[in-house]
Amino acid sequence: MTKEKKNNYIKYLPYVLIPTVGIILAKVIMHTGILKNALKDSLREQETLDSIRIYAEPTKNRLNLYVRNKSFRAFKDMDVECTFIASSGYVLGESEYTIHDYFPKRSTKMINDFFVSDIPLQTTKVICDVKNINIIKPGK
């Protein structure tokens, strides 16, 4: 084998080794369950987020919130985004808040007089969506 042919093989060696090393790493990660556990946690959180409903009633710079947790997981410290709507349907604004409280599984909780400093004066309806929660792991 001449020196030129040897250099050609060396030139293409990374194209052969990189996919092989990637396949080996993927098999190791799948075997150890790291990826599977992270995916399970992500799906669990999304399932819990989808099962939470918030009903809000505006009063003068305060909100009365009714939080319904239909999931089988308890959580705490909920981040919500509220949209303030006028009687005509016009969106007056949006704000994000964190509600520091404990929400048991399969429960409904009423939070009276949640202070909100930036409710527009013409607000007649408030729609709140859950953005993030801290799920409490069983046994903690």
CB burial string 10-19: b at 16+ within 10 A, e below:
eeeeeeeeee
Residue with the two structure tokens 């859950």: 130
Query: 79-118: per-residue pLDDT in tens?
Result: 999 999 999 999 999 999 999 999 998 999 999 998 988 8
Judge if 59 and 118 occupy the same domain.
yes
What pLDDT was estimated at residue 129? Answer: 92
For residue 130, being part of any structural domain is answered with yes
Q: How far is it, in rounded angstroms, from Cα 134 to Cα 139?
A: 15
What pLDDT was estimated at residue 2? Answer: 60
Judge if 99 and 59 occupy the same domain.
yes
Judge if 90 and 129 occupy the same domain.
yes
Low-confidence ranges of the chain (pLDDT < 70): 1-18, 21-22, 25, 27-41, 139-140
Q: Supply the range of the domain harboring residue 25.
A: 3-32
Q: What is the CATH number of the domain that holds 125?
A: 2.60.40.1620
CA-based end-to-end distance of the chain: 67
Judge if 63 and 93 occupy the same domain.
yes
Judge if 130 and 84 occupy the same domain.
yes
Total tally of structural domains belonging to the chain: 2
Q: What percentage of the chain's residues is helix, strand, coil (to nearest 5)?
A: 35, 45, 20
